[in-house]
Amino acid sequence: MNGVLEHLSQGFGVAFTPLNLLVAAIGSFFGTIVGVLPGLGPINGVAMLIPVAFAMNLPPETALILLAAVYVGAEYGGRITSILINVPGEAASVMTTLDGYPLARQGLGSVALSLSAWASFFGSLVAFFGIVIFAPLLARWALAFGPAEYFVLMVFAFCCLTGLLGSEPVKGVLAAMIGLAISTVGVDANSGVYRFAFDSPNLSDGIDFVVVVIALFAISEMLQMLEHVVGGLSVKVPKSGRKLFNFAEFRFTLPSVVRSSLTGFGLGVLPGAGASVASAIAYANEKRITEQRDPDAKFGRGDMRGLTAPESANNASATGSFIPMLTLGVPGSGTTAVMMGALTLYNITPGPVLFDAQPQLVWGLIASLLVANVMLLIMNVPMVRVFASILSVPPWLLVPGIVCVSIIGVYSINATRFDLLLVAGIGLVGYFLRKAHMPMAPLILGVVLGNLMEQNLRRALAISDGDVVILFSSAVSVAFWVLSLGVILLPPLYRRWKKRSLLPEIAE
């Protein structure tokens, strides 16, 4: 316990330096804007800022604080658009539209905004304490992992990310393979052999992670936006009416906030289940529990509990998803995968060793998560009008801006024309992959984890002199294999079972 307090005070020491406070505030503000804009989510915001942060020579902990603030900021921003115009600002706030927009129609828009800001904050707070308690324990446990355990753990992470994709896990597997294939381009670190470089000097160092991220999450996104050109949206934030929720509403929603925060945190820690899954499950859960007890529940027609449940869950999940990345070095969501890629730019490999080797980085980041959330809570109540006005910026100004910042970011890494052309090319491929409903998160996870996965596999087989049995020899790796199989097999079995149990009812 003393250790925790010591680490936390070290972390807050890092978080409270003027530069890091400034960066957290800028990140929170920018993240909220990214969240407010429909079509742009945390992953796009983080992707655009990584090269910029790197090019500015920010120290690694400061860069990570910036990216983390953008991530949590986007989770706050998404709800504003959901409540005011019934369009989710980002994927995780789809559920927020269900009860948030009806509340706004009833003239309670400002109350809904402040109440959901509080719910978001509470979710993050729960997840913050979760990180402080569980992350060091998990890191200590993972220290004993050998290369074989690591390899199987990464297999498990891929299974989680693709097994939860519903009806088409095969596309998730394919996406992961494409990502892994991209990671093998360039010189092989162990043998010095060039792989898939096609004698091009530009490819001999491999395809930069930043190029792939910007291409998939900025360029292809912009191409897709052209399918339906829409004008700027004008949004009115209600001027009249009270701004803050009252004590009765606070007490009324508190149980749902607490329950959903815990649900969201648990799902966030699991690799693969991101914030959008968490908010959907929390909403469904809350609806079921509440409608059993309370006949007056009006979920879908403006129930405040239906507003607070997804909001606390998605923030708790976003904050909780830092745990697998920091402690195991295996990101739990697309956005944390992108962040882990950012760390590899600094030659830092996240994992259990990080807690001992770079405590200022880990605990500075954890403390900054709390700092950013406090800033966001403070920003989000009085400044809602400012954020909502972002929606009226026309796309003909916004899109070129995004393209320009993205290209600046890519150019700043190697300053070559080749990289800029590569971004355009991969962006076009990414657009076609999106059209084919390929999930992007496993792909980016493949790019980020590819080298680590291959190195650990080769190291494990070097230890056993080529005997594959080593991958199944320890209790930990067997457990991860079993879990991987479970994640892949259970969802389709469950769907089949559910279908079968429904069939007799339909037949009658």
Partner 1 sequence: MNNRILGIAALALAAMMIWQGHDLQAPFSYEPLGPRAFPLLIAAVMALCGLRLAIRGGGQAPANPPGANTRIAAMFGVIVGYALVFQWAGFIIATALMTLLVGRLFGGGWVGPAIGGVAGSVLLFVLFDRVLDVVLPVGLLGAWL
Site string for partner 1, 374-413 (x = CB under 8 A): --------------------xxxx-xxx-xxx-xx--xx-
Q: Which is nearer to partner 1, 86 or 412 (CB)?
A: 412
* CA-to-CA dists, residue 213 to 101, 249, 279, 417, angstroms: 33, 42, 25, 17
Compute the distance between CA of residue 376 and CA of residue 374 in angstroms, rounded to an integer: 5
| Residues in 90-109 at the binding interface with partner 1, rule: CB under 8 A | none
Whole-number minimum distance, CB 410 to partner 1, in Å? 9
CA distance 192 to 311: 49
User: What distance in Å separates the CA atoms of residue 474 and residue 465, rounded to the nearest whole number?
Assistant: 17
DSSP 186: E
From the list 169, 3, 49, 87, the residue with the least C-alpha distance to 388 is 87
65 closest CA partner among 46, 43, 47, 48: 46
Pick one of 181, 233, 374, 381: the residue that binds partner 1 (CB under 8 A): 181
| Residue 380: CA count within 13 A, CB half-sphere | 35
Bridge partners, 194 (sequence order):
187
Regarding 55 and contact with partner 1 (CB under 8 A), the answer is yes
- Considering only residues 69, 74, 157, 180, which one is a binding residue for partner 1 as defined by CB under 8 A? 180
| Residue 229 within binding range of partner 1, rule CB under 8 A | yes
Between 225 and 381, name the residue whose CB sits nearer to partner 1: 225
Q: How far is the CB of 393 from partner 1 (least distance, A)?
A: 10
Q: Which is nearer to partner 1, 424 or 502 (CB)?
A: 424
Question: How many of the chain's residues bind partner 1 (CB under 8 A)?
Answer: 66
- Mask 447-486, x = binds partner 1 (CB under 8 A)? ------xx--xx--xx--xx--------------------
H/E run at residue 62: helix 60-85
CA separation for the pair 223, 429 (Å, rounded): 11
Determine which residue in the list 5, 22, 133, 226 makes contact with partner 1, applying CB under 8 A. 226
- Binding of residue 298 to partner 1 (CB under 8 A): no
Residue placing its CB nearer to partner 1 in the complex, 338 or 470: 470
Q: Report if residue 171 touches partner 1, rule: CB under 8 A.
A: yes
**Structure token digits, residue 250:** 């606070």
User: Site for partner 1 (CB under 8 A): which residue of 10, 13, 39, 188?
Assistant: 188
Q: Which is nearer to partner 1, 343 or 426 (CB)?
A: 426
Residues sharing a CB contact under 8 Å with residue 353, sequence separation 6 or more, in sequence order: 143
The neighbour count for residue 482, using CB atoms within 10 Å, is 11
CB of 341 to partner 1, least distance (A): 19
CA distance 446 to 134: 26
Does 492 engage in binding with partner 1 (CB under 8 A)?
no
State the nearest-atom distance from the C-beta of 199 to partner 1, in Å: 11
Within positions 421 to 440, which residues make up the interface with partner 1, using CB under 8 A?
Answer: 421, 423-424, 427-428, 431-432, 435-438
10 Å Cβ neighbour count for 411? Answer: 16
- Return the closest-CA partner of residue 313 out of 287, 290, 336, 280: 280
321: left (phi over 0), alpha (psi -120 to 50) or beta: alpha
Should residue 143 be labelled a site residue for partner 1 when binding is judged by CB under 8 A? no
Instruction: Determine if residue 244 is left, alpha or beta; phi over 0 gives left, psi from -120 to 50 gives alpha, anything else beta.
Output: beta
Identity of the residue, 186 or 331, whose beta carbon is nearer to partner 1 in the bound complex? 186
- Return the number of the residue (190 or 392) whose C-beta is nearest partner 1: 190
Count the helix, strand and coil residues of the chain and give each as a percent rounded to the nearest 5: 75, 0, 25
Binding site for partner 1 (CB under 8 A): 52, 55-57, 168, 170-171, 173-174, 177-178, 180-181, 184, 188, 190-193, 195-196, 219, 222-223, 225-229, 231, 394-397, 399-401, 403-405, 407-408, 411-412, 415, 417, 420-421, 423-424, 427-428, 431-432, 435-438, 453-454, 457-458, 461-462, 465-466
